[in-house]
């Protein structure tokens, strides 16, 4: 009877802990994502889930919950830390508040055109400045994302010179509004899902978005020109595990997850890049005209982001964070 009681207690503890261990060798975890399984991020997640299962000899089984069924995109990291799921897609870059370094340092990458270079610099920062990880208290980071550069899509004419921005209304992220205003354009911060009808009706003249949006959001149907004026999106932690769940996993299982951080990061980038290429091909098929922008124009445009970035860095300094030091690292010449 004593042994039976002990077994029942242990089983109850396992259930309470959320690890769902059917045996000492089995760990059942939940994964939550705001994306669906056919999205590039979801495809990367499923490949990662299968890989973890294989590399742990079946000891770890991860059940995915797609499409915001457990978490939201904006507050997913808070929900993960609170235990809504064991693992999740996270995006502290888009959180409503907090996560000051994650939310603000992407603006330091203005003018970067190569997403892999952005990722390389960011991972160096992550390793050099422990404050990045410290502000994600309660979450173990298991993967990173880097946004491919966004460009300028326009309804009626291509962008070639900065004077072409004068008088335009452009759907834009908040980070780009100030620079646009400096060249006579109005940045409009509407939801991306509302942008198609706004473009169709001429409420806005253009949108800053990546190639993949030509297909995924059907923008190729309502714009005629895609001008390659780069807007870097920075990099950020994108997959994580609840800290308490992580601490209860045995060291060998933790090591499997650790060993796959770069694999998941790379797979996510490669699938996202494939989506970019498919988006451009779709745009070409529908007759969208693509044009490069002169380097001197890109340099002058990028310079408009310098002062806002310095102001952001100084504000981070006042919070006791290494804002200016991080900005200097990002802007330093690369070999």
Does residue 264 belong to any structural domain of this protein? no
Question: Do 19 and 159 reside in the same domain of the chain?
Answer: no
Whether 269 is in a domain gets the answer no
Give yes or no: residues 85 and 158 share one domain.
no
Number of domains the chain contains: 2
Segment 97-121 mean pLDDT: 94
CA dihedral 97, 101, 104, 107 (to 10 degrees): -160
> Which of 285 and 173 is assigned the larger pLDDT?
285
Do 14 and 130 lie in one domain? The reply is yes
Global confidence as pTM: 0.86
Residue 6 located in a structural domain: yes
Statement: residue 74 has pLDDT above 90 = no
Mean pLDDT of 301-312: 95
23 and 135: one domain? yes
Residues 135, 166 share a domain: no
Same domain, 173 and 224: yes
Say which residue, 107 or 17, is predicted with more confidence. 107
CATH number for the domain that contains residue 293: 3.40.190.10
Q: Give the per-residue pLDDT at 25.
A: 52
**Spatial contact of 264 and 239, defined as CB atoms under 8 Å apart:** yes
The pLDDT score that the predictor gives to residue 233 is 87
Cα dihedral 87→91→97→98 (10° resolution): 70
Query: Which band of pLDDT confidence, cut at 50, 70 and 90, is reported for residue 318?
Result: very high
Least confident of 36-50, 66-80, 175-189: 66-80
Same domain, 97 and 216: no
- The answer to whether position 223 is within a domain reads yes
Is 100 in the same domain as 240? yes
Q: Are residues 14 and 142 in the same domain?
A: yes
Closest CA relative to residue 220, chosen from 168, 149, 153: 153
Same-domain check for residues 216 and 188? yes
DSSP 278: H
Listed residue (106, 102, 111) closest to 333, CA to CA:
111
Whether 78 and 180 map to the same domain: the answer is no
The answer to whether residue 271 is domain-embedded is no
CA triple 315-321-325, angle to 5 deg? 85
- Residue 117 and residue 149 in contact, taking contact as beta carbons nearer than 8 Å: no
Give the separation between CA 264 and CA 275, rounded to whole angstroms.
17
Domain-located, residue 333: no
Cβ 84 vs Cβ 31: under 8 Å: no
Q: What is the pLDDT of residue 229?
A: 95
210-220 confidence digits (pLDDT tens): 999 999 999 99
pLDDT at residue 335, rounded to an integer: 67
Which residues are CB-contacts of 205 (< 8 A; sequence separation ≥ 6)? 154, 155, 156, 168, 169, 170
> Cα(50)–Cα(126) distance, rounded to whole angstroms?
27
318 in a structural domain: no
**109 CA to centre of own chain:** 14
Instruction: Output the domain CATH number for residue 95.
Output: 3.40.190.170
Mean pLDDT of the chain: 91
Q: In this predicted model, what pLDDT tens digit does every residue of 143-173 receive, in sequence order? A: 999 988 899 999 999 999 999 999 999 999 8
Q: Is the pLDDT of residue 260 over 90?
A: yes
**CA separation (Å) from 193 to 171, 189, 332?**
11, 11, 36
- Looking at the fold, whether 225 and 244 belong to one and the same domain comes out as no
Structural domain including 219 reads 150-231+289-304
């Amino acid at each position: 009877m004593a042994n039976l009681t002990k077994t029942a207690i242990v089983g109850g503890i396992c259930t309470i802990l959320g690890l769902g261990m059917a045996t000492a060798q089995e760990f059942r975890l939940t994964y939550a994502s705001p994306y669906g399984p056919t999205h590039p991020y979801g495809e990367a997640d499923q490949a990662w889930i299968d890989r973890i299962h294989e590399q742990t000899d079946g000891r770890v089984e991860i059940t995915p919950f797609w499409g915001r069924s457990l978490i939201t995109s904006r507050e997913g990291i808070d929900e993960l830390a609170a235990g809504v799921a064991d693992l999740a897609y996270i995006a502290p870059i888009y959180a409503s508040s907090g996560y000051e370094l994650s939310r603000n340092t992407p603006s330091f990458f203005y003018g970067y055109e190569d997403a892999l270079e952005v990722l390389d610099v960011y991972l160096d920062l992550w390793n050099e400045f422990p404050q990045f990880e410290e502000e994600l208290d309660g979450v173990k980071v298991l993967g990173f994302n880097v946004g491919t550069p966004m460009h300028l899509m326009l309804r009626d004419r291509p962008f070639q010179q900065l004077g072409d921005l004068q008088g335009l209304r452009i759907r834009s992220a908040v980070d780009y509004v100030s620079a646009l205003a400096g060249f006579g354009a109005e940045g409009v911060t509407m939801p991306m899902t509302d942008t198609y009808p706004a473009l169709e009706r001429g409420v806005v003249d253009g949108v800053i978005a990546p190639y993949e949006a030509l297909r995924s959001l059907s923008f190729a149907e309502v714009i005629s020109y895609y001008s390659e004026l780069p807007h870097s999106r920075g990099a950020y932690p994108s997959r994580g595990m609840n800290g308490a769940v992580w601490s209860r996993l045995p060291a060998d299982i933790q090591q499997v997850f650790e060993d796959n951080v770069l694999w998941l990061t790379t797979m996510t980038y490669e699938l996202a890049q494939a989506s970019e290429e498919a988006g451009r091909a779709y745009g070409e098929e529908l007759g969208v005209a693509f044009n490069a922008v002169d380097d001197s124009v890109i340099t002058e445009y990028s310079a408009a982001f310098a002062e806002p970035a310095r102001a952001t860095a100084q504000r981070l300094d006042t919070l006791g964070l290494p804002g200016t030091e991080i900005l200097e690292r990002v802007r330093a010449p690369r070999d």
